[in-house]
Amino acid sequence: MSADTPGSILHVDDDRAVRDGLAMLLRAEGYAVHSAANTKQALELISAGLRPDVLILDFHLEEQMNGAQLAEQICSILHHTPPIIVLTGDLSNAVVPRTNEAPVWMARKPLDPHRLLVALPGLILVSRANRQLDTQIGVREMRSVVSTAEAPPRNAHAEPEVRRVSFSASPWSLKFR
C-alpha cells in the first residue's frame, strides 16, 4: 500500500445508526470503510483477508466478547497490531486492549468527528510503518530459521554469533549485520 492509498478502516458497532453515520463520514473523506454489526461479522471479514489500517470498535458489543477482547483476537489473526479506537458511552468499566505495539485511543461516545478526522491520517501512517516493520522482521526471522536449519553443526567451544543492529535515517529501517 502506498502513502497515497486511502486508509482501510474496520468499524464494529452493534448500533446500526452509529455504523451508518460513521461509514458515511469516513467514505466522504475517501476512506475505505468495512462495517460489522458484531464480533462474528468482524472476524469473518478478517478471516476473508481484510487488513485494516485502523480498528474502530464499540466496547459494549456482546455478552461473549467486548471490543477490547475483539481487538486482541483480530491482532492475533493479523500478526500485526493496527491502531485501535475503542468507543464507549460508559468509561467506568471499559478496558483497554492489551497491546504495546500500537496506539490505543479510548473515547467516549459520541466521538467528535473533527478529532477523528484529524487523527486518522497519522494513525494510518503509524499502522503502515508498523506493518512494514513487522513484515521485515518476520522475513528476517524466517531466513534465520532456514539458514540455521541448513547450517552445519557448530563447534561447542566456538564463540556465539553476535548480531549488530544499526539504524538508518528512517526509524523504520533496521539493518542486521
What type of residue is 41? Q
Q: What is the pLDDT along the chain (177 residues), one digit of tens a residue?
A: 455 678 999 999 999 999 999 999 999 999 999 999 999 999 999 999 999 999 999 998 877 788 888 999 999 899 888 999 999 887 777 667 666 667 788 888 888 999 999 999 999 999 999 888 877 776 556 555 555 555 555 555 555 444 444 444 444 444 444
pTM above 0.85, yes or no: no
CATH number of 8-131: 3.40.50.2300
Contacts of 176 (CB under 8 A, 6+ apart): 140, 163, 164, 165
CB 15 within 8 A of CB 37: no
- Structural domain spans, the chain: 8-131
